[in-house]
Amino acid sequence: MPAKKKIPDKVVKPLDNRMLKVAEKIKELRQSAGFTSSETFSYQYELSRVHYWRLEKGMNLTLESLLKILDIHGITLEEFFKGMK
């Protein structure tokens, strides 16, 4: 019987600090809108709960997702990135 091939552990690369800043800003927008829970926010705006959670963690963030969040909050890209370094 042939030996089983070992499947390598998934390599997880650290998130880019810029992604973490964007994620934190998304979370701040939710909180400033009065939502203490990301789950409540995602249900209110018919977003996937898991996907929204990932956005706030800086994972799986696409430009399309970011634009959807900005539309919900009624802000522009310029407003979102203002003051971000």
HSE, CB side, 13 Å, CA atoms: give it for residue 25: 21
The rounded distance, in Å, linking the Cα atoms of 24 and 55 is 9
Tell whether the model's pLDDT for residue 1 goes beyond 70: no
The model's pLDDT over 71-81, given as tens digits with 9 standing for 90+, comes to 999 999 999 99
* pLDDT value, residue 40: 96
The model's pLDDT over 6-60, given as tens digits with 9 standing for 90+, comes to 766 666 777 789 999 999 999 999 999 999 999 999 999 999 999 999 999 999 8
Contact 13, 48 (CB under 8 A): no
Contact 54, 65 (CB under 8 A): no
Q: Which CATH architecture has domain 17-80?
A: Orthogonal Bundle (1.10)
Tell whether the model's pLDDT for residue 3 goes beyond 80: no
Please state the pTM of the whole predicted model.
0.81
